[in-house]
Structure 1
Amino acid sequence: METNGIDIHYYRTGNPDGVTLVLAHGLYDDGRCFAPTMAEFTDQFDVIAIDARGHGLSDAPSIGYTIDDRVADLAGLLDELSIDSPILWGHSMVGNTVACLAATYPTLPRTLVLEDPAGMLHGIHERASEERIFNVRELIESWHNQSCTALLESFEHEAWKEYLFHARRRVSTDVTEIFRNGYRRPSTTFSKITCPTLILRADVDDDQRALDRERVDRFDDARLEHVTNAGHCIRRDEFGTTVHLIRQFLSDSVETE
């Protein structure tokens, strides 16, 4: 779908009469990385997974990676597809994008799921140094140049290996511009979000949990769940728990009939 001056690729499956659930991946992943998750929700929801600009099969321009660009990409896609009141689920980088979209257009989403959103993570809202940007670009180039076997063996999660392999091969080095621009701070975003929100957070220490709870207090209506034994990609580390928490949250907060 053409929107905001580029082509955005997406996958769609599930119940065409259900509420639309939009899955938006984190940095370096793509829409197919949500495939096992999509299968858990197709019985009830119209499920869409997107490839963000610079990822998957979407266009990868050399510019356009500010938070405003990323919000415009997602909002434009929803508009072009005539999707009203979707559930938006964003991980990491796009957790920040989804939160900023909900803050900018408070009546657009029905509800939010933020999976370890960037901007809540300690210090990640700061702009990265040029050295950090250079190192990330080198990392992406190494994924492009590694042998298939070596790249596949670098992933721990067997069920996701194929999806992660293709995502790393396709991600553009230009996504490093996201680090140059940084993320929107919680203090300027969360207080503007009015829809019901579930925040899934990694298993962090007590000090960080307390800071997380402070930030969540800025929401009108939010539920915070720290997921035991989960790292940054919560659904890959604790898949069953993630699905259970989200199904429970949606059953409490979303009218699906």
Structure 2
Amino acid sequence: MAFTDLGDVRLFHTDDGTGGTTLLLVHGLGSDSCEWVHHIPALAERYRVVAVDVRGHGHSSAPESGNTPRRMADDLARLCAALGVGSCVAVGHSMGGHVVSHLAVEHPSLVGALVTVDPGYGFTGPVAAGFPAMIERMREDVMGVCLRNDEWTYTPASPGWLREWHRRRILATSPHVLLQAFEAMFGGPDALGLRSGAETYLARRTCPVLTFRFDPEQAAWEAGLFKDPRSKAVTWEGSGHRLHEERPGEFLTVVTNWLRSLP
């Protein structure tokens, strides 16, 4: 079945491949599991690949409350139990980086390794200082703010189809979901979107972590939080926020080579 009913939420997911290791693919805010269409066929040749629409996104149901990364992580733990997944490599882009990090910290026996793709945590300086005002603007015009915010995720080299693909996905996401998730990520002292809230929490991730960043400073900061010596920070300067979609072949090569290097 492509849907699993967890009681308070109904999740859409696909389950491909027959490999022993399970990869759990988690998309970003205002997106869905179609974000991984360039990667699933190749990954499924070697691994079992579960790609999910998190609560409030894509074809999954959108509860009136609880649309936060922490609740999304709890959903995924329950989904894995329902699918018989006892251990996985959790892969998360942007907001998905929050979700899989919560999963690794709160359910450490489930996550054997972690891949984060330009994760939306650890901001500091003017960017972090601007979040409270952005959240207030979202209360008045959540869709407009999200669409404008999406513009920074690209570079002049980003293809037009990618911009339009994600614009349409944002438009298809319920406004209350966008607001609740964004506020949970960036709206309080414990929010992982702020470096002050992220450092202690992310240091609790004891599994190997592979992170992709386009910002060298962010990559160096996150590397300082790694606990497992097999962890690695990869910097692709000049890439956009959706670097795994802009450069899928290179992304797959780096990820699969790193996974092979793990015992």
TM-score by length of 1: 0.81
Partner of 2:233: 224
Per-residue deviation, 1:121 = 3.9
Q: Deviations over 1:67-109 (max 9, x none)?
A: 3312211111111111011111000001111111101122211
Partner of 1:20: 22
Structure 1, 169-178 or 4-13: larger mean CA deviation: 169-178
Runs of 4+ off more than 6 Å:
none
Q: Is residue 177 from structure 1 mapped to residue 180 from structure 2 by the alignment?
A: yes
CA distance in 1, matches of 2:258, 2:147: 39
Q: Which amino acid is the alignment partner of residue 65 of structure 1?
A: N
SS of residue paired to 1:110: strand
Among 202, 211, 216, the alignment partner of 1:199 is: 211
Per-residue deviation, 1:132 = 3.4
CA distance in 2, matches of 1:84, 1:118: 27
TM-score by length of 2: 0.80
CA distance in 2, matches of 1:169, 1:130: 20
CA distance in 1, matches of 2:68, 2:102: 12
Partner of 1:146: none
SS of residue paired to 2:79: helix
What 5-or-longer segments of structure 1 have no aligned partner? 143-154
Change in CA separation of 1:59 and 1:219 when aligned onto 2, cut-off 3 Å: same
Name the count of aligned residue pairs: 235
Change in CA separation of 1:157 and 1:248 when aligned onto 2, cut-off 3 Å: farther
Q: Deviations over 1:161-220 (max 9, x none)?
A: 786476345321122211222242321322111111100012x2xxxx245313321221
Q: Is residue 46 from structure 1 mapped to residue 32 from structure 2 by the alignment?
A: no
Partner of 2:188: none
Contact 1:4 1:76 in 2 (8 A): no
What's the RMSD between the two structures over aligned residues? Answer: 2.5
Among 102, 117, 137, the alignment partner of 1:100 is: 102
Alignment of 1:99-118 (within 5 A): 99-118=101-120
Partner of 2:221: 214
Structure 1, 114-123 or 16-25: larger mean CA deviation: 114-123
Change in CA separation of 1:24 and 1:218 when aligned onto 2, cut-off 3 Å: same
